[in-house]
């Protein structure tokens, strides 16, 4: 157990991390912080030393102007190569979509999964994993729902086509837009860079952890956490990823309020961000968040967001005084004026009981996430307190 820079190593075959022995030692350490090991076994000393050596920054080797020039040239070449690959991928995907239009979408439900999987793989090969994600989104449309699948499919195809068109025109766009498009295509964003990036937008606020959603796609687990800055009225989407080889890290508890600094990735209509540092966890809301006055206001805000960034997705909104109702087997939130918005069908079964238990049919303020097929309620505000659904 390395207490200084928390790490664990154990000879047991447990696949849990940390194992029960590690947890036991940590608990013992928490109970008696003064406890120390009189004599460290040799393998422990070796392991700790190795960790220390690794964590110590290596002395920077002095780079000559030629080295810098060489590195820059190599970087530019890599970038140019990637652009070439991505452009080829964009052309191929455009052709694929046009072909789809030629034969008609009625053929889509009959297509085998390989039809989508092959194209997604080609986009990954073209270094455009973002585009691969759009293709996969098309493959998971529920074609068994006769009345719904056409809407879902055209929503994906429409946004994807706009993205491909925008990419072809990207050189004429402002730098922020170019960056946004690159991210949509699949350029990765580095949290480590953002951690120290002084130019990035950073906001200090009481951040309410509104809720979380876990999604598994092949071997990758994505955990989305929505935060709301109570004073700034700004939302933040935090993403964590887990694979078979790296466990999912979850540093949030839904419903808690933390006084933190949140930094945002550059993006038209900033959305994704990271928590830089947390000062303290608060036991209650100090500032009650500003709400949108009903469903119509929510819609207007959504339209405004789409106008700014047509690919906006998973955006969270706070709406004032709504009730949950059932109509024709679907759930809706309805505001006092009678305006309604549909709830995501996939959560209907679990949402209704949770909502009734929390609200008892009272009109409440709610936090919802806009998904392509409906709203995902995250929690409700009752008597000034936030309750996760």
- Judged by CB under 8 A, the chain residues 100 through 129 that form the site for another protein are 101-107
72 contributes a contact to another protein by CB under 8 A: no
Q: With contact defined as beta carbons under 8 Å apart, do 261 and 204 qualify?
A: yes
CB of 184 to another protein, least distance (A): 15
Q: Within 13 Å and on the Cβ side, how many CA atoms surround 338?
A: 0
327 is an interface residue for another protein by CB under 8 A: yes
Pairing of strands 235-242, 202-217: unpaired
Does 19 help bind another protein (rule: CB under 8 A)?
Answer: no
Contact status: 23 vs another protein (CB under 8 A): no
384 binds another protein (CB under 8 A): no
Burial of residue 149, with CB atoms counted within 10 A of its CB: 0-12 exposed, 13-18 middle, 19 or more buried: middle
Nearer to another protein, 151 or 217 (CB): 151
By CB under 8 A, which span of 136-144, 192-200, 260-268, 302-310 interacts with another protein? 302-310
Helix-helix angle 113-125:65-103, to 10 degrees: 160
- CB-based contact 325:336 (threshold 8 Å): no
Strand-pairing partners, residue 225, are: 212, 238
Nearest residue to 225 (alpha-carbon basis) of 253, 203, 206, 201: 253
For position 91 contacting another protein by CB under 8 A, the verdict is no
Of residues 112, 174, 360, 384, which one binds another protein by CB under 8 A?
A: 360
Q: Are strands 330-335 and 316-327 parallel, antiparallel or unpaired?
A: antiparallel
Q: Give the residue among 259, 252, 261 at the shortest CA–CA distance from 282.
A: 259
**264-293 mask for another protein (x: CB under 8 A)?**
------------------------------
By CB under 8 A, which span of 35-43, 148-156, 194-202, 269-277 interacts with another protein? 148-156
Question: Which chain residues interact with another protein by CB under 8 A?
Answer: 97-99, 101-107, 150, 154-155, 157-159, 161-162, 165, 295-296, 298-299, 302-303, 306-307, 310, 323, 325, 327, 332, 334, 338-341, 349, 352-354, 356-358, 360-362, 387
């Amino acid at each position: 157990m390395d207490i200084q820079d928390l790490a664990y190593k154990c000879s047991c075959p447990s696949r849990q991390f940390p194992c029960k022995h590690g947890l036991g030692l940590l608990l013992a350490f928490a109970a008696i912080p003064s406890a120390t090991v009189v004599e460290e076994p040799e393998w422990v000393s070796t392991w700790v030393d190795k960790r220390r050596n690794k964590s110590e920054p290596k002395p920077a080797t002095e780079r000559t102007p030629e080295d810098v020039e060489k590195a820059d040239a190599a970087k530019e070449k890599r970038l140019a190569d990637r652009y070439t690959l991505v452009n080829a991928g964009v052309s191929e995907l455009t052709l694929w979509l046009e072909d789809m239009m030629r034969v008609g979408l009625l053929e889509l439900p009959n297509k085998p999964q390989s039809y989508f999987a092959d194209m997604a793989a080609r986009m990954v090969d073209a270094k455009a994993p973002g585009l691969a994600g759009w293709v996969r989104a098309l493959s998971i449309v529920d074609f068994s729902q006769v009345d719904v699948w056409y809407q879902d499919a055209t929503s994906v195809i429409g946004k994807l086509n706009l993205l491909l068109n925008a990419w072809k025109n990207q050189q004429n766009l402002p730098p922020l837009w170019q960056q946004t498009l690159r991210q949509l295509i699949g350029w990765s964003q580095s949290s480590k860079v953002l951690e120290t990036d002084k130019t990035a937008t950073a906001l200090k606020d009481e951040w309410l952890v509104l809720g979380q959603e876990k999604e598994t796609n092949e071997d990758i687990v994505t955990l989305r956490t929505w935060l709301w800055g109570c004073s700034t009225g700004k939302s933040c989407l935090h993403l964590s990823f887990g694979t078979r080889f790296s466990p999912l890290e979850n540093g949030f508890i839904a419903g808690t309020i933390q006084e933190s600094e949140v930094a945002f990735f550059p993006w038209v209509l900033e959305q994704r961000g990271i928590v830089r540092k947390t000062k303290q966890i608060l036991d209650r809301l100090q500032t009650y968040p500003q709400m949108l006055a009903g469903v119509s206001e929510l819609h207007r805000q959504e339209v405004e967001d789409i106008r700014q960034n047509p690919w906006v997705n998973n955006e969270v909104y706070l709406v004032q005084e709504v009730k949950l109702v059932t109509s024709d087997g679907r759930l809706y939130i309805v505001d006092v004026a009678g305006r309604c918005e549909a709830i995501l069908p996939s959560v209907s079964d679990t949402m209704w009981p949770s909502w009734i238990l929390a609200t008892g049919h009272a009109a409440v303020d709610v936090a919802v996430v806009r998904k392509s097929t409906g709203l995902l309620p995250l929690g409700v505000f009752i008597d000034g307190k936030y309750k996760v659904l």
